[in-house]
Amino acid sequence: MSHSVYGRLMSVDRTQVLHAAAALLTRKATATMDEVARAAGIGRATLHRHFAGRDALVRALEELGLQEMEGALDRAGLDDGPEDEALRRLVAEVEHVAPLLSFLVTENQLFEGDQQHVGWARLDARVSALFRSGQESGVFRIDLTPAWLTEAFYGLVGSGAWAVQDGRVAAKDFQYMIAELLLGGARRSVEK
Amino acid sequence: MSHSVYGRLMSVDRTQVLHAAAALLTRKATATMDEVARAAGIGRATLHRHFAGRDALVRALEELGLQEMEGALDRAGLDDGPEDEALRRLVAEVEHVAPLLSFLVTENQLFEGDQQHVGWARLDARVSALFRSGQESGVFRIDLTPAWLTEAFYGLVGSGAWAVQDGRVAAKDFQYMIAELLLGGARRSVEK
DNA sequence: ACCGAATGAGACATCAATGTCTCATTCAAT
DNA sequence: ATTGAATGAGACATTGATGTCTCATTCGGT
């Protein structure tokens, strides 16, 4: 009785399917369920067996995205050491979640009604807290609000993922490019 | 015979409709034609009279986006003065095109086949050239590729537009937030 | 080698969005 | 005030995606 981790026999990797779906939907949100299935390397019927419909799929993406982001935040250890180094660790941890994060940030069809999802508020708060902490300790400049820095972080991660996926940036440079731009900007420092 | 600028009677402002459509589609790419019409403040029938279908609408968005971006690039005068100041001017010029640009960057359903649209290649080249020029003149750092800086520029403009539209950043801070982050980054400079 | 679960492919009905049309109304120009 | 173009609302047929089902096949566990 070596069922698998969750009691069911495992054939299609739910997580892998969701990551593939996110990668596709980020750049083609109108993609068909059939296209999503193909992109994940499975049949449409199988996709339907795992996710009742498009809504269910999107909600699963949301759930996984939140979960993986929380994990990344945990592993980054944002409370340890200087905030700029913490940010570098966060960028590193976030790399493989990037397409998923990108989809969730972009597609706000999630927010039914007009209130933000609770889980997202938590994430925002954690990232935002890092920037605020950095400002208080004098590591980050104070003329850019934590809210904006958080938003910019999301945006750059998304851009980075896209640039890599599209071949405009080497995958190995992902972390460096994002962290360096976010921390130091494009201008050449007068003093390092 | 005071027809209007283009010979037809003008009732719905084509440009205004497209901007509204872009603003909506950026955050809800699966929006219905009816939703788009409502968002633009017109009826579905009228929307159909101006744009044959969804494809035509998207292609019109593309065309307008390219046109307005080219205009912004022209007005920014990228060849005059230091590149960092040119970049600031570009950010300023790009502000009102932001939602449109954001939609076009995000939705790559445009690129039929696998080749990039010619117009976009031109835009990319112009923005990229600015960063390259800045690197050569010593204004910008050389460890971040022009391609990445270009991508980051798009991403930050999109994030900025989103943050403003969502009320997380004041509209009046749009230019400052983007230009400052892009040029100087989040880290507090040791020396200014 | 056997068995059962899960899959892929395809058929099919359903449903929502789309595209087209009509008609009454509004509005700008005269 | 009159005219004609353009609009909004609604009806309608069409199309394409969706959701469900069946059946043959594959594959992992025993």
pLDDT tens track for A146-187? 999 999 999 999 999 999 999 999 999 999 999 999 999 999
Q: Return the DSSP state at A30.
A: T
Q: What is the pLDDT of residues B104-156, one digit of tens each?
A: 999 876 666 556 788 999 999 999 999 999 999 999 999 999 999 999 999 99
Superfamily of structural domain A14-184: Tetracycline Repressor, domain 2 (1.10.357.10)
What's the token pair of residue B15? 């440009």
B91, B157 Cβ separation under 8 angstroms: yes
Identify the pLDDT of residue A110: 62
pLDDT at A10: 54
Gap from A44 CA to D22 C1', in Å?
15
Q: Taking 50 as the threshold, does the pLDDT of residue B7 lie above it?
A: no
Q: List the single best residue of B36, B84, B144, B174 to mutate versus A (max A Cβ within 10 A).
A: B144
Structure tokens at A86: 């913490």
For A113, the token pair is 């009604």
Query: Which residue of chain B has the CA closest to A32?
Result: B30
B121-126 long-range contacts (CB < 8 A, ≥24 apart) are B122/B70, B123/B66, B123/B69, B123/B70, B123/B73, B124/B150, B126/B73, B126/B78
Instruction: Give the chain A residue whose CA is nearest to the CA of B136.
Output: A188
Do B188 and A154 count as a contact with CB atoms less than 8 A apart? no
User: How far does the CA of residue B1 sit from the closest CA of chain A (Å)?
Assistant: 44
What does the DSSP 8-state code read for residue B145? -
Helical (H) or strand (E) element with A148: helix A146-165
Tens digit of each residue's pLDDT (9 = 90 or more) over B58-83:
999 999 999 999 999 999 999 999 99
SS3 B91: helix
Q: How many angstroms is C1' of C1 away from CA of B162?
A: 62
pLDDT for res A117: 83
| pLDDT at residue A5, as a whole number | 41
Which amino acid type is present at position B168?
R
Q: For chain A, how far is it from start to end, CA to CA, in angstroms?
A: 60
Question: In this complex, which of A30, A131, A184 lies closest to B30 when CB atoms are compared?
Answer: A30
Report chain A residues whose CB lies below 8 A from the CB of B191. Answer: 189-191
A146 and chain B in contact, CB less than 8 A: no
Q: How confident is the model at residue A6 (pLDDT cuts 50, 70, 90)?
A: very low
Contact residues, chain B, for A190 at CB < 8 Å = 189, 191-192
In 3-state terms, what secondary structure has residue A47? helix
Q: Per the structure block, which two tokens stand in for B36?
A: 């788009």
Average pLDDT on B169-178 reads: 98
Which among A28, A90, A148, A164 is the top mutation candidate for probing chain B, defined by the most B β-carbons within 10 Å of its own β-carbon? Answer: A148
* Mutate which: B116, B137, B148, vs A, most A CBs within 10 A: B148
**Which residue of chain A has the CA closest to B82?**
A187
Which residues on A lie below 8 Å from B174 (Cβ)? none
Q: Give which of B38, B29, B35, B169 is closest to B95, Cα–Cα.
A: B169
**The tokens of A147 are what?**
């809210």
Whether residues B151 and A144 touch (CB distance < 8 A) is answered with no
With an 8 Å Cβ cutoff, are B163 and A183 in contact?
A: no
Determine whether the interchain pair A149/B191 forms a contact, defined as Cβ–Cβ distance below 8 Å. no
Eight-state DSSP code of residue B49: H
> B45: Cβ under 7 Å from strand C?
yes
- Contact between A158 and A177 under an 8 Å Cβ cutoff? The reply is no
Whether CB of B5 is under 7 Å from strand C: the answer is no
Q: Which residue of B has its CA nearest to A164?
A: B148
Give B33 CA → C14 C1' in Å.
Answer: 22
A26-81 pLDDT, tens digit each: 989 999 999 999 999 999 999 999 999 999 999 999 999 999 999 999 999 999 99
Cα separation, A62 vs A101, in Å, equals 9
Quickly give A27 CA vs C22 C1' distance in Å: 39
Asked if residue A33 keeps its beta carbon closer than 7 A to nucleic acid strand C, the reply is: no
Contact B180 A143 (CB under 8 A): yes
CB B173 within 8 A of CB B160: no
Contacts of A160 in chain B (CB under 8 A): 148, 151
The residue ranges of every structural domain in chain A are 14-184
